[in-house]
Amino acid sequence: MSSFPALRMRRGRSSPWMREMLAENRLHPSDFILPMFVCEGSGCEEPIASLRGVSRWSVDRLAERAREAARLGIPCVALFPNTPARLRTDDAAEALNPDNLICRGIRAIKDAVPQIGILTDVALDPYTSHGHDGLTDDRGCVVNDATVEMLVRQAVVQAAAGADIVAPSDMMDGRVGAIRSALEQDGHCDVAIMAYAAKYASAFYGPFRDAVGSKGLLKGDKRSYQMDPANGFEAIREVELDLAEGADMVMVKPGLPYLDVLARVKDTFGVPTFAYQVSGEYAMIEAAAEAGAADRDALILETLMAFKRAGATGVLTYHALDAARLING
Ligand code: PBG
């Protein structure tokens, strides 16, 4: 075994070209999925206070953003609706409306930017009056099987509108298999499923709930369906189940605080594994930069590289446009 002074690790870091040549991972715009928020109205851009730099866009302005993403080399966008309060009900009926914000958003983007992929969230929280991802019983508990029936119908409605990937983010049991068979039955065999397989009950979702307008509505918390941050092995079981039920790709969420889970999932299954760098992580980076505590561009690139190093196939990130611009130079 040769060691110092014969072996000097710094030789490999000695110049920019050497570092470039020896880099184990590289960021590319195709690593990113851009989440976008959709609102009612026309010609609207609504800045989101807790997510500085991110806005909700009305359907007629959504395609501009998607076109910019495509131009930068981003392969896919993820859509989330800010459903008007009057359309939020206990039974989340608006989730099944083929003309809801999401379906109109899908069609607008498909029309204008057919080359970009569209991922949609399957969960009821943007449509319920209580802000939970599912239907609740009279004690306010989220009921699994009745919720799954709704999610199945919601996924089929999104697929019919043109979604390329449906992404159940609700954490109900058995929903991936139920959605897969409904999609097959309905002729949507090309629509893929990205399962939010290991989704933790996290404080990092705060700004997102503000963005979709469910923040003030949520009664209680989501700990009876989203995972306990204490658990790592349980994530492996969740992923195993979702894959067995027909998930094409899986996701770990949040991102940076759960890199250990991401790496374990990727190393265990070797399937397409995505990370969601969630709204609270975005807000944390922005706040650090704003406070002058660190360089914003460097934080963006370093955190995204961390996902790649941990084994991520790609990352859902609100910094997708910024990152792609930085990478493209
Ligand atoms: C809801 C959903 C959430 C996110 C994506 N889908 C929030 C939640 O579970 O409460 C969070 C994304 C983010 O924080 O950026 N089904």
Question: What is the 3-class SS of 58-110, one letter each residue?
Answer: EHHHHHHHHHHHHHCCCCEEEEEECCCHHHCECCCHHHHCCCCHHHHHHHHHH
> Angle 320-312-182 (CA atoms, 0-180°, nearest 5)?
90
Q: Which residues of 238-254 are buried (b: 16+ CB within 10 A; e: fewer)?
A: bbebbbebbbbbbbbbb
Q: Is 199 a catalytic residue?
A: yes
Residue nearest to atom 7 of ligand 1 (CA): 205
Residue that is written with structure tokens 């492996």 in the block = 236
Per-residue pLDDT tens over the stretch 224-282: 999 999 999 999 999 999 999 999 999 999 999 999 999 999 999 999 999 999 999 99
Longest Cα–Cα distance in the chain: 72
Read off the tokens for 212: 């979709």
Domain boundaries, the chain: 27-328
Query: How far lies 196's CA from each of 160, 175, 269, 281, in Å?
Result: 21, 11, 15, 17
200 lines ligand 1 (CB under 6 A): no
Q: Which atom of ligand 1 is nearest to the CA of 205?
A: 14
Per-residue pLDDT tens over the stretch 115-139: 999 999 999 999 999 999 999 999 9
132 lines ligand 1 (CB under 6 A): no
Residue nearest to atom 2 of ligand 1 (CA): 169
CA–CA gap between residue 300 and residue 289 (Å, rounded): 10
Q: What is the pLDDT of residue 1?
A: 65
Which one of the listed residues 199, 222, 266, 308 is annotated catalytic? Answer: 199
Give the closest residue to 301 by CA, choosing from 278, 324, 273, 279: 324
Q: What is the pLDDT of residue 237?
A: 98
Q: What is the pLDDT of residue 78?
A: 98
Q: Which atom of ligand 1 is nearest to the CA of 35?
A: 15
123 lines ligand 1 (CB under 6 A): yes
Q: What is the pLDDT of residue 214?
A: 87
Contacts of 229 (CB under 8 A, 6+ apart): 200, 201, 202, 257
Task: Please identify every stretch of the chain with a pLDDT value under 70, giving residue numbers as ranges.
Answer: 1
238 is in an annotated binding site: yes
Q: What is the pLDDT of residue 259?
A: 98
Ligand 1 mean position to 12 CA, how many Å? 41
Pocket test for ligand 1, best of 208, 224, 258, 319 (most atoms within 8 A of CB): 208
279 lines ligand 1 (CB under 6 A): yes
In order, the DSSP letters of 11-54 are GGGSSHHHHHHH-S----GGGEEEEEEEESSSS-EEE-TTSTT-
Residue nearest to atom 6 of ligand 1 (CA): 169
CA–CA gap between residue 177 and residue 314 (Å, rounded): 23
278 lines ligand 1 (CB under 6 A): yes
Ligand 1 mean position to 205 CA, how many Å? 6
Which one of the listed residues 110, 215, 219, 253 is annotated catalytic? Answer: 253
- pTM confidence score: 0.97
Q: Is 110 a catalytic residue?
A: no
CA–CA gap between residue 205 and residue 218 (Å, rounded): 12
Residue 176 near residue 242, CB atoms below 8 Å: yes
Read off the tokens for 292: 């002058």
Q: Which CATH class is domain 27-328?
A: alpha beta
Question: How long is the chain?
Answer: 329
How far separated are the first and last CA of the chain, in Å rounded? 42
Ligand 1 mean position to 126 CA, how many Å? 10
